[in-house]
């Protein structure tokens, strides 16, 4: 039995709101189911609220942890003003080597 938090309850109530707007739930039934959703302590209690309803059902987050962000790439080292004299200068076309 998976425990649910406030986020899952909010998702369930948003899905119930969508059913109310679509005309599938009367005002009293909607209020009753929203009250039950706010008291739900498990995923099965929330799922029971949608057994007789078509989609949309709440899109609960998966139990798997989120993937870590990709590692940050190192920034290239900025060139300094003195780095120009370290590079060899190619000979000019008209000079002798």
Using CA atoms, how far apart are residues 57 and 51, in angstroms rounded to an integer? 9
In this prediction, residue 12 carries a pLDDT of 94
User: Per residue in 36-59, pLDDT tens?
Assistant: 999 999 999 999 999 999 998 888
> Which of 19-28, 59-68, 71-80 tops mean pLDDT?
19-28
CA proximity to 45, closest of 61, 63, 58: 58
CB-based contacts of 54, cutoff 8 Å, min separation 6: 24
In this prediction, residue 11 carries a pLDDT of 93
User: What is the mean pLDDT of the segment spanning 22-35?
Assistant: 95
Of residues 25 and 62, more confidence is placed in: 25
- Asked whether the beta carbons of 58 and 14 are under 8 A apart, the reply is yes
């Amino acid at each position: 039995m998976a425990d649910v938090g406030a986020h899952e309850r909010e998702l369930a109530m948003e899905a119930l709101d969508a059913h109310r707007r679509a005309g599938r739930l009367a005002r009293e039934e909607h209020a009753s189911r929203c009250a039950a959703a706010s008291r739900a302590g498990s995923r099965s209690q929330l799922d029971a609220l949608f057994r007789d309803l078509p989609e949309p059902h709440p899109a609960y987050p998966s139990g798997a942890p989120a993937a870590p962000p990709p590692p940050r790439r190192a920034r290239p080292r900025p060139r300094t003003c003195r780095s120009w004299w370290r590079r060899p200068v190619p000979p000019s076309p008209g000079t002798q080597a």
